[in-house]
Amino acid sequence: MPAPGALAVVHDDADCIVVVKPAGLLSVPGRGEHLQDCVAARVQSLFGDALVVHRLDMATSGLMLFARGAAAQRLLSIAFAAREVHKRYVAVADGLIEPACGDIDLPLMADWPNRPKQKFDREHGKASLTRYRVLARDAAARTTRVELEPVTGRAHQLRVHLLSIGHPILGDALYAPPEMQARADRLLLHASALGFAHPVSGAPMQFESAAPF
């Protein structure tokens, strides 16, 4: 994993902040002194009242939303829980995905003996839904660039859902076979679009970030 790059602030106002997280940087602090550098700490160094609303996996890059103050955090958290925040991701997956669009509706749960991994489990898993749309196929490289919309927000949902249909994301150190991990120097997954209602004014907010791969 390359060293994390600079954090880009793409929006800030009195109630919310949107940043672009680099791959390889934790969203929130981990355990231990060496895991204190994270998106939350960097944002809070710029905006002292910034509070976490959601997270991205350490290996994932892209748009993250922060609230300013407890009242805005509560309103944005309610919006996430009600699925009123719209997110889209771009990934590069192994193989040529067919058909060109569709739903992946597979329940997921923690793979406790292999934490932090998640797994597909029809009996005990929680309902999980991802919509996908093929953006481009590279027949020579045997890869597909795909847009992903997580309707639910389970841990590692996009990574496990693509794995479950036989198309793991390139560079995925947790789920891809070693030969597919070696085909990229990072997880090729980027949070590319984020839409939500402003927590105070209610105005529609829409942000986009091009995938850096």
Q: Which residues are marked as active site?
A: 57
Q: Residue 129 contacts by C-beta under 8 Å, 6 or more apart in sequence?
A: 103, 104, 105, 150, 151, 152
- Full DSSP string of 45-108: HH-TTEEE-----TT-EEEEEEEESHHHHHHHHHHHHTT-SEEEEEEEEES--SSSEEEEE--E
Place of tokens 């481009």: 136
User: How many whole angstroms separate alpha carbon 60 and alpha carbon 25?
Assistant: 8
Give the CA-trace dihedral at 79, 82, 84, 86, to 10 degrees.
100
User: How many whole angstroms separate alpha carbon 185 and alpha carbon 169?
Assistant: 12
